[in-house]
Structure 1
């Protein structure tokens, strides 16, 4: 399963911290940010993915996170 999210993450260091956090909750997933994209895209690929949990974890750190249509 692959899910793509729109975020408002601006800094590479912030993205790195979020990737570490998400990998802790979803081991074995591929997670990356495209901060050059206008939607500051977060892409998560894995079999045990829970969309609501991803969004909650990112939002708890103070960032916007919505599923990109």
Structure 2
């Protein structure tokens, strides 16, 4: 399993609710969460085979910015 980490502009629980159906619909995503307490509003995605660009595109299509963070 790989953990992909992104900075987002998701700032409220209502916005997480908008992201939830988008990310949960992808069967390759095993788990995900957004840390609203972190200054970068960190999105963590657990998957075996998804590219960071794919996640960024999904988030953009949902109306949110998302940038992969190096770790």
Instruction: State the TM-score, normalizing by the size of structure 2.
Output: 0.83
SS in 2 for 1:25: coil
- Stretches of structure 2 lacking an aligned partner (at least 5 in a row): none
Matches within 5 A, 1:9-48: 9-48=10-49
Structure 1 segments (4+ residues) deviating >4 Å: none
Match of 2:4 in 1: 3
Instruction: State the TM-score, normalizing by the size of structure 1.
Output: 0.85
CA distance in 2, matches of 1:49, 1:14: 23
Q: How many residues align?
A: 69
Name whichever structure is richer in strand by fraction: 2
Matches within 5 A, 1:41-56: 41-56=42-57
- Pairwise CA RMSD of aligned residues? 1.5
